[in-house]
Amino acid sequence: MPLSDSLPTTGDSLIDAFGRQIEYVRLSATDRCDFRCTYCMAEEMTFLPRQEVLSLEELERVARIFIQLGVKKLRITGGEPLIRRGVDRLFTGLCNLPGLQELAVTTNGSQLVDRAQHLRDSGVTSINISLDTLDPAKFKAITRTGELNTVLAGIRTAVSVGFDRIRLNAVILQGQNDDEIIALTEYALSLGINIAFIEEMPLGQVNAAGKPLEFVSSDDIYSCLADHFKLQAEPPPEQAGPARYWRIAGSETRIGLISPHSNNFCSSCNRLRVTAEGRLLLCLGNEHSISLRDHLRDGESDEMLADRIRQALNQKPERHVFDQPDEPQILRFMNASGG
Ligand code: SAM
Ligand code: SF4
């Protein structure tokens, strides 16, 4: 079903105290996952009781209210969104919401062989697939439970289905996959898709000294890439938000560097997050939030919920706080915040 390009039903827009207009919301469809990536989860996880997670209907309602408030892009993430039972219904419902211009999914790729075609048919426009290594043993070590070949087959299926955009996401970790920056980029290039390298963020568990030791900076990743490829900086607006983009000369492949530590992108932050239990997070790096779920389940009208969101936006902080890689301040697992 094609996404509607008609306007939202109210002339409202979400503008925060610092003049930033919110046009992008990430919704976490679940906190559960079939992988246990070391930088994202502990080996033994306790997930939310099901009744605490927003139902698919609640997720769609929240999405509709945001779109009425001027949001144009939604990303469904998690946890692993594609393991949520019935989630295909959510994609179909979201694509039919008037005013939504872009529906994106972030996935670990484990389900894509069977699901990519349905996602495309539902109207999903772009997809990010996490891939940190091309080595099966390292893949197992990083994800603890994942199979590289399944994910590679999923990526090939996604490419064959023909999304508007596909991007690989790689978190680069010192001593684990920092020797694969070129190989991963060559792989994206061979498929004609994009790739982003993400600095590890100090969320969730840190080591005994309380530090995320594996952090590799975007500057180091850029130097490595620039030694091997001719890179052309992409013009704005591609440079808005947390990623800076370069194109590999003579190709369609763009490389993104996502730098929460070394590039403060807060001044152009146009996004909000809703966690699996319906908590509206104003900023990934701060704890400012409100429980939309409580208000939804109290029977509040769409207009009342819209007011809650507008009021909450006044709390959106000017900037996040994890600029110092050796000073993790936010200890929240990434799967819980909808990465
Ligand atoms: N399960 C899906 C996946 O892995 O793509 C979606 C959720 S995952 C939390 C979203 C993205 O966050 C992934 O690309 C993952 O690599 C990234 N991520 C998770 N923990 C991170 C961390 N501590 N620092 C930086 N990126 C992280
Ligand atoms: Fe699961 Fe994604 Fe977190 Fe890995 S990064 S454990 S795949 S939610």
Digit-coded pLDDT (tens) for 45-57: 999 999 999 999 9
In short, whether 40's Cβ falls inside 6 Å of ligand 1 is yes
pLDDT attached to residue 337:
52
pLDDT of residue 168 exceeding 90, the answer is yes
In short, whether 127's Cβ falls inside 6 Å of ligand 1 is no
And the tokens for 9?
A: 């039903």
Structural domains in the chain, sorted by start: 14-336 (3.20.20.70)
Distance of alpha carbon 2 from alpha carbon 123, whole angstroms: 5
pLDDT of residue 182 exceeding 60, the answer is yes
Neighbour count for residue 163 (Cβ, 10 Å): 18
What spacing in Å lies between the alpha carbon of 176 and ligand 2's midpoint?
17
And the tokens for 175?
A: 């001593």
Strand partners, 68: none
- Percent above pLDDT 90 for the chain: 67
Which of helix, strand or coil describes residue 212?
coil
Letter for the amino acid at 311? Answer: Q
Contact 317, 282 (CB under 8 A): yes
Residue spans of beta strands (DSSP E) within 36-171: 73-77, 102-107, 126-130, 165-171
For residue 114, name the pLDDT band (cuts at 50, 70, 90).
very high
Contact 217, 278 (CB under 8 A): no
pLDDT attached to residue 83:
98
In short, whether 106's Cβ falls inside 6 Å of ligand 1 is yes
Contact 30, 53 (CB under 8 A): yes
pLDDT attached to residue 56:
97
For 208-226, letters b (16+ CB in 10 Å) and e give eeeebebbbbbebbbebbe
Provide the edge-to-edge strand list for the sheet that holds 279-281: 231-233, 243-248, 254-258, 194-198, 165-171, 126-130, 102-107, 73-77, 24-28, 271-274, 279-281, 289-291
What spacing in Å lies between the alpha carbon of 9 and ligand 1's midpoint?
33
In short, whether 258's Cβ falls inside 6 Å of ligand 1 is no
In short, whether 33's Cβ falls inside 6 Å of ligand 1 is yes
CA-nearest residue, atom 8 of ligand 2: 79
**Average pLDDT of the residues in 241-255:** 90
pLDDT attached to residue 196:
97
Contact 173, 185 (CB under 8 A): no
pLDDT of residue 260 exceeding 80, the answer is no
Strand partners, 196: 169, 256
What's the mean per-residue pLDDT of the chain? Answer: 86
Of the candidates 128, 125, 127, 234, the residue with the CA atom closest to the CA atom of residue 171: 128
In short, whether 80's Cβ falls inside 6 Å of ligand 1 is yes
Distance set, CA 198 to CA 110, 132, 233, 243 (Å)? 20, 10, 18, 9
Between 243 and 175, the higher pLDDT residue: 175
pLDDT attached to residue 6:
54
**Average pLDDT of the residues in 269-285:** 85
Between 5 and 56, the higher pLDDT residue: 56
**Average pLDDT of the residues in 52-81:** 97
Letter for the amino acid at 326? Answer: D
And the tokens for 181?
A: 């920056």
Between 157 and 8, the higher pLDDT residue: 157
Of the candidates 242, 233, 248, the residue with the CA atom closest to the CA atom of residue 193: 248
Neighbour count for residue 311 (Cβ, 10 Å): 10
What spacing in Å lies between the alpha carbon of 229 and ligand 1's midpoint?
26
Tracing tokens 């492949």 back to the chain, one arrives at: 253
Comparing 78-87, 194-203, 326-335, which segment has the lowest mean pLDDT? 326-335
Distance set, CA 48 to CA 42, 154, 253, 275, 297 (Å)? 15, 28, 38, 11, 17
What spacing in Å lies between the alpha carbon of 198 and ligand 2's midpoint?
14
pLDDT tens, residue by residue, 25-41: 999 999 999 999 998 99
What spacing in Å lies between the alpha carbon of 339 and ligand 1's midpoint?
5
76 burial level (CB within 10 Å; 0-12, 13-18, 19+): buried
pLDDT attached to residue 287:
64
What spacing in Å lies between the alpha carbon of 334 and ligand 1's midpoint?
6
pLDDT of residue 326 exceeding 50, the answer is no
And the tokens for 13?
A: 């827009």
pLDDT attached to residue 241:
64
Choice from 26, 28, 30, 35 to test ligand 2 binding pocket (greatest atom count within 8 A of CB): 35
pLDDT attached to residue 13:
81
Tracing tokens 């994009």 back to the chain, one arrives at: 194
160-169, 193-202, 278-287: range with highest mean pLDDT: 160-169
pLDDT attached to residue 2:
46
